[in-house]
A = this chain, B = another copy of it.
Amino acid sequence: MNRLWIENGTFVTMDDSRPVLKGHMVVEGDRIVYLGEEPPSPAPEGAERLNGQGLVFMPGLINTHAHSAMSLLRGYSDDEALQVWLEQKMWPMEAKFTDDDVRWGTSLAVAEMLKSGTTTFVDMYDRMHIVAEVVEQSGIRGVLTRGVIGLCPPDVQTEKLIEAKQFAKDWNGQAGGRITTMMSPHAPYTCPPDYIERIVEAAHELDVPLHTHMSESLAEVEQNVKDYGRRPVEHLDKLGFFSKPALLAHAVHLNDEEIALLAERGAAISHNPASNLKLASGVARVPQLLKAGVTVSLGTDSAASNNNLDLFDEIRLAALIHKGVSGDPTAVPASEALKLGTVYGARALGKHSLLGVLKPGMKADFIAIDAEQPHFYPQTEMVSHLVYSGSGRDVKHVWIDGRQVVSSGECLLIDEAKVKAEAQSCFERLLAR
């Protein structure tokens, strides 16, 4: 069994009982087995030793909303309204996607995520078996789901549902447990109510969580009220969506009653600040959601609406924008912002007993930050420094399930040169097609 002993490191644990600790951590197999100020005693036999001097170790970041294959469309359409961007730019290009496009787009995204410290990501897309293969090979942890759009004839709906169920069944627990699955109607505005109910039923059948886009734009909320006589949260509630653990991406436009209902139902939010700003969807009511006890996590959304997958950017945005927009400088303090990207992410995925905190018994999903840089000096408040000054480019090493997947900024299990070249070719072929 592989053993790793990190000596003389600084550990930002996300464990409230000892948030920052200078000392030692020991990993055995896929687990953290020791974390403390004193060296482990007895010393772990045959352990690889790593000098942690100048490094800050923290839990791997958790990105709870992505469409990885869309990294191929980074920069393809900027500075447009959500519906124009989606319906006139994204969907026509995505309709041309082949297996290869999904493979190399996803690989590009996973390389970017790993190098910037994300160890777990949620991916909602199609051709998900290809995404799963990329996850398997790259060493990342993935919560994968075939997002289905129900704006199609009943037989096509059924076909998509069968495919989504089959994927969720086949891949749940694969890659040594690194892959788990969910069921996902794309959104209330793209799925008729009875179709959502069938997807919920499938989630029960397979015992997996549910994921969807919800209340991203004001127009979509107004349309929901017009079509179904109620706002999206109540609409989904009536369709049984919250009868399983549910993760809602965006949730920008919520009223007080909806926030209370989400808290009551135990639903979790994937807050996507960069995407919501870029598409001018608005600013989610994160301080109110947190106050109500709703679990708020962070997502990048796709690189086509962000346009990067560096979760440190989302963490900093979450710490900054809610202060500026609410006028309350104490809103989403640094320590809370860092939780959004780690421990709350784990909670949003029902994985908080395994991920999001550095402590014995947890999975060894963690990252090492090069703290020997001017923007981390004076070396005092590391949580503040990580949130307000940190970047994915500061990530030096990454481990997932105790296995090192990034070393000195290089992916160990991904051929990055090939991924970049293939992604470039795919995009050029898409343009020409």
Contact = CB atoms under 8 A, between A and B. Distances in A.
A426 to B, nearest CB: 8
Given A307-B385, A378-B424, A326 B416 contact: no
21 contacts: A71-B377, A72-B378, A75-B378, A75-B380, A78-B334, A85-B329, A108-B374, A108-B377, A277-B320, A277-B323, A277-B324, A278-B324, A279-B323, A280-B327, A307-B388, A308-B389, A313-B316, A321-B321, A321-B324, A374-B419, A391-B391
A105 to B, nearest CB: 9
Q: Among A75, A108, A109, A115, which residue has the most Cβ atoms of chain B within 10 A?
A: A75
Contacts of A385: 74-75, 307
A81 interface: yes
A283 interface: yes
Contact of A374 (B111, B280, B306): B111
Contacts of A328: 280
A420 interface: yes
| Size bin of chain A's contact surface | 35 or more
Interface string A422-433: 011011100000
A172 interface: no
B330 A378 contact: no
B393 A78 contact: no
Interface in A76-124: 76, 78-82, 85, 108-109, 111-112, 115-116
Q: Among A321, A375, A416, which residue has the most Cβ atoms of chain B within 10 A?
A: A375
A329 B283 contact: no
A416 B377 CA distance: 11
How many identical subunits does the complex contain? Answer: 2
Contacts of A306: 388
A394 B308 CA distance: 13
A423 B308 CA distance: 33
A274 to B, nearest CB: 6
A280 B378 CA distance: 24
Contacts of A426: 378
Contacts of A333: 78-79
Contacts of A310: 375, 391
A74 B420 CA distance: 37
Contacts of A424: 377-379
Nearest to A280: B329
Contacts of A380: 74-76, 427
Interface string A288-330: 0000000000000001001111100100110111011111111
Given A276-B324, A325-B283, A389 B307 contact: yes
B280 A326 contact: yes
Nearest to A281: B324
Given A112-B375, A377-B423, A378-B426, 7 more contacts: A75-B380, A75-B388, A79-B323, A276-B324, A280-B324, A308-B375, A379-B424
